[in-house]
Amino acid sequence: RKVLYSRLGVVTLLIPPLRDRLEDLPLLTRHFIQKYNTLFQMNVRGITPEVLTFFHSYRWPGNIRELEHIIEAAMNVMLDEDMIELRHLPMQYRQSGHYTPAAEKSPLLKDRLFEYEKQCILEALEANGSNISKAAEQLGLSRQSLQYRMKRLGI
């Protein structure tokens, strides 16, 4: 193990925390949105100015991983919108004192959509003998996207 660490320790990079380099937020945000656009087969263009303001005021204790998780979570609750809005952010961020909700969408709709998506996936899996690749093709999703959705829905 010592030999491995000595070989890996040849070059040491000191990267400041995200809170000390907020100028990287737009670039990192675009990168993660593009990543999850590809993964989820979405077409999100960016974030609203309010979200950018929130990102600049947040302390980022989880650094870049936390930013990625926030964007991933926001894109998971989006329907046909093309911009991430404050209302898409996970609840713990909206309750952090930096965000005051105006009019939230009915949770009933969200619950219904969750159940409908689950039902559609289960039907596609059943129709294709539990073959994930075939079910994904039937649903117009990539295999990876379907697997992610199945995990999120508890299938």
Q: Using an 8 Å Cβ cutoff, are 136 and 41 in contact?
A: no
Residues 71 and 55 in one domain: yes
* Domain housing 57: 17-104
Instruction: Please indicate, yes or no, whether residues 92 and 116 belong to a single structural domain of this protein.
Output: no
Residue 47: strand pairing partners: 84
| CATH code, domain carrying 145 | 1.10.10.60
Rounded CA separation 35/65 (Å):
13
Asked which of 61, 77, 104 is the last residue of a domain, the reply is 104
112/100 same-domain check: no
Q: What is the Cα–Cα distance from 70 to 77, expressed in whole angstroms? A: 11
In a domain, residue 11? The reply is: no
Total domain count, the chain: 2
The answer as to whether 12 is a domain residue is no
d(CA 102, CA 64): 28
In order along its 155 residues, the chain shows pLDDT tens digits of: 778 777 777 777 788 999 999 999 999 999 999 999 999 999 999 999 999 989 998 889 999 999 999 999 999 999 889 999 999 999 888 776 554 444 444 456 777 777 788 888 988 999 999 999 999 999 998 999 899 888 888 88
Contact 26, 20 (CB under 8 A): no
